[in-house]
Structure 1
Amino acid sequence: MLVGGTGNLGLRIARALAARGANVLALARQGGDTAALADTGVSVEKIDFDDEQSLRRTLDGASCVISALNGLEDTIIGRQSRVLDAAVVAGVPRFIPSDYSLDFTKTKPGRNRNLDLRRRFMAKVDAAPIRATSILNGAFADLLAGQAPIVLPGPRIVLHWGSPDQLLDFTTKEDVAAYAAAAALDPDTPRTLRIAGDSVSPRDLAATMQLLTGRRFRLAKPGGVPVLSAMIRLTRTLAPQPGAVFPAWQGMQYLRDMMDGTGKLEPLDNDRYPEINWTKARQVLAGAMAMKRL
């Protein structure tokens, strides 16, 4: 059973599950657009997530519920909790929550809004009589193609706010989806699985860009983590956007947890499914250059 299958990651998980021959039912909100799921090879059912009895009946017989929901409190805590509660009542043995992030179990509460929501939901999952598995994957490597303010091709700079040798975990959405699908079909998963398609430092990224372009990329540190924290507070004051899932300051909070090393993933469970070929940061950057996004 897949929840959140219409999102960017959810669609990839749907395809990965279908590729493994899984019998998948993707649940979507009534009135939601499910056209993108049409070519994934999974069945789709629209449902009222506020109807507890209907949700329970739909989940009856499922071997695993995998969530790819994305949003703020009403989604990560509200809707996901309703799915969890229905899964427990229906006797579903396993649940994979929508965690897909750096290791928020090691970060400080109050420093990252979206990770705080996942921390709250983790406490709810751990209190429920169901086997849960969180998949933690660092940052999506796809963001290196331009969205993450790290590699700046114009001025040929790689930014960092901590040590230039701090390893940063990146995993492409495609690889996360492949791993999540494998985990959903694996009855013996542990409570947490940590993966990283690549772990590279800002210094590594600068060297990679120099190799790809033939031009030198400089490392630049516009202040340490305290400066980044001040920038976060200022940005949140000037452009709060409380209803946005990924406002600028939220991305900066995530970057802080990477740059100071608190969200570093270790040990890694990459080898659990040896059939997965991990995409490296260099491949992402080279692909972005070929598409002229960098």
Structure 2
Amino acid sequence: MASKFVAVAGATGGLGQLVAMELVKRGMPVKAIVRPNTDPLRTEKLRNSGVTIAPVGLDAIPALTGELSGAICVVSTLQGLGDVIHTAQGKLLEASMAAKVPRFIPSDFSLDFTKTKIGSNRNLDLRREFHNELKKSGIAWTSILNGGFMDLLVGNSPMVNHKTHKVAYIGSTTQPLDFTTMVDTAAYTAEVAIDPNPTPNFLRIASHTVNVKDIAQAQSNVEGVTYNQSWMGTVGSTELMIRVMRLFGGENDVFPAWQGMQYMVNMFSGAGKLDPLDNNRYPDLTWTKVEDFFREHKNKKY
């Protein structure tokens, strides 16, 4: 492989694969760090696009360090709980430091957890805790915060019910909500990874900032049927419901029902709002509006 490349961990996942493809599109050689014995079908698209596949365990620090040597950036798109965000990603960071990689992009891709209250969102807390290791590492790092993935608004969405033609919300219909498509997030991440200039520790992006009324109107325009807002309670009552639901388990699940509710609380309270946005850092990028996204995905099966 060429001495100059970007390594992507988690490249067989949805976002990781998109990041790898965006890097290839920009002419940057890519090395995908995948688990040993990964099904070849999961890496076929990457290999066909010219991505180098590196099967190596994240706990095999010497081998991992060797695979990362020469990388200009390591992008982590690993997803999971503490064993992934803390332990596995921690090993990836350790190997990146040993390989003297100049830039590390952690797997944050979320609401602004620098502003949310500790304990209000388990998955955001895991990311916040990992930043303690980043700060001690000495490596240059950049966290990309993109709000909610717009992709979660289509298909079997927790917010949009196509049978009842309703958009669920808590709190107020006028609360601004940040959404970014996975494609837009991947394109921005690729730009950060190959940026020859120093990048800030935090970059905040949103394809489109909308409220619940905007989402309902966009669905109405696309589907030709009126979508209405459906109030599910206050932010406070939802927080109380979360506490009750956690008594019945789900702590070992990546996304139990109450975890989704925690994201809703963070979004509809305004606590996780992204401000200011850094969309203009890379002026050649374009951003997807909610209605255009709905129209693009109208006939897709999920």
User: Over residues 175-205 of structure 1, what are the superposed CA-to-partner deviations in whole Å (9 max), with x where a residue is unaligned?
Assistant: 1111111110003221111100011001111
Q: Which amino acid aligns with 1:16?
A: E
Q: Tell me, yes or no, if the aligned pair for 2:155 and 2:301 is still in contact at 8 Å.
A: no
Query: How many Å separate the matches in 2 of 1:161 and 1:37?
Result: 40
Instruction: For residue 218 of structure 1, report the CA deviation from its aligned partner.
Output: 2.3
Aligned twin of 1:212: 222
Instruction: For residue 288 of structure 1, report the CA deviation from its aligned partner.
Output: 3.5
Q: Indicate which of 186, 207, 210 corresponds to 1:200.
A: 210
Aligned twin of 1:243: 252
Matched, 1:32 2:38: yes
Aligned twin of 2:4: none
Q: Tell me, yes or no, if the aligned pair for 1:2 and 1:65 is still in contact at 8 Å.
A: yes
Q: Tell me, yes or no, if the aligned pair for 1:144 and 1:284 is still in contact at 8 Å.
A: no
Q: Tell me, yes or no, if the aligned pair for 1:6 and 1:34 is still in contact at 8 Å.
A: no
Matched, 1:270 2:279: yes
The 5-angstrom pairing of residues 150-161 of structure 1 reads: 150-161=159-170
Aligned twin of 1:260: 269
Matched, 1:91 2:97: no
**Aligned partner of residue 199 in structure 1, secondary structure:** strand
Instruction: For residue 105 of structure 1, report the CA deviation from its aligned partner.
Output: 0.6
Q: Which amino acid aligns with 1:243?
A: N
Q: Which amino acid aligns with 2:254?
A: V
RMSD, aligned α-carbons = 1.6
User: Over residues 19-59 of structure 1, what are the superposed CA-to-partner deviations in whole Å (9 max), with x where a residue is unaligned?
Assistant: 11111111111122353332232100111222222222221
Query: How many Å separate the matches in 1 of 2:297 and 2:240?
Result: 31
Query: How many Å separate the matches in 1 of 2:222 and 2:301?
Result: 13
Q: Indicate which of 141, 150, 171 corresponds to 1:141.
A: 150
Q: Tell me, yes or no, if the aligned pair for 1:28 and 1:34 is still in contact at 8 Å.
A: no
> Greater shift after overlay, 221-230 or 167-176?
221-230
Q: Tell me, yes or no, if the aligned pair for 2:36 and 2:55 is still in contact at 8 Å.
A: yes
Q: Tell me, yes or no, if the aligned pair for 1:11 and 1:36 is still in contact at 8 Å.
A: no
Q: Indicate which of 130, 145, 168 corresponds to 2:139.
A: 130
Query: How many Å separate the matches in 2 of 1:205 and 1:10?
Result: 27
Q: Tell me, yes or no, if the aligned pair for 1:140 and 1:172 is still in contact at 8 Å.
A: yes
Distance 1:34 1:4, change over 3 A: farther
Aligned twin of 1:226: 236
Instruction: For residue 291 of structure 1, report the CA deviation from its aligned partner.
Output: 3.1
Q: Indicate which of 44, 55, 61 corresponds to 1:46.
A: 55
Q: Tell me, yes or no, if the aligned pair for 2:239 and 2:265 is still in contact at 8 Å.
A: yes
Q: Tell me, yes or no, if the aligned pair for 2:204 and 2:278 is still in contact at 8 Å.
A: yes
Q: How high is the sequence identity, in percent, across the aligned residues?
A: 45
Query: How many Å separate the matches in 2 of 1:27 and 1:212?
Result: 39
Aligned twin of 2:116: 107
Distance 1:214 1:25, change over 3 A: closer
Q: Tell me, yes or no, if the aligned pair for 1:69 and 1:75 is still in contact at 8 Å.
A: yes
**Aligned partner of residue 121 in structure 1, secondary structure:** helix
> Greater shift after overlay, 95-104 or 241-250?
241-250
Runs of 5+ consecutive residues of structure 2 not aligned to the other structure: 1-6
Aligned twin of 2:184: 175
Distance 1:223 1:36, change over 3 A: same
**Aligned partner of residue 277 in structure 1, secondary structure:** coil
Query: How many Å separate the matches in 1 of 2:156 and 2:189?
Result: 24
Aligned twin of 2:66: 57
**Aligned partner of residue 63 in structure 1, secondary structure:** strand
Query: How many Å separate the matches in 1 of 2:34 and 2:165?
Result: 43
Aligned twin of 1:66: 75
Q: Tell me, yes or no, if the aligned pair for 2:111 and 2:148 is still in contact at 8 Å.
A: yes
Q: Tell me, yes or no, if the aligned pair for 2:176 and 2:211 is still in contact at 8 Å.
A: yes
For these two proteins, the number of residue pairs brought into alignment is: 292
Q: Which amino acid aligns with 1:55?
A: L
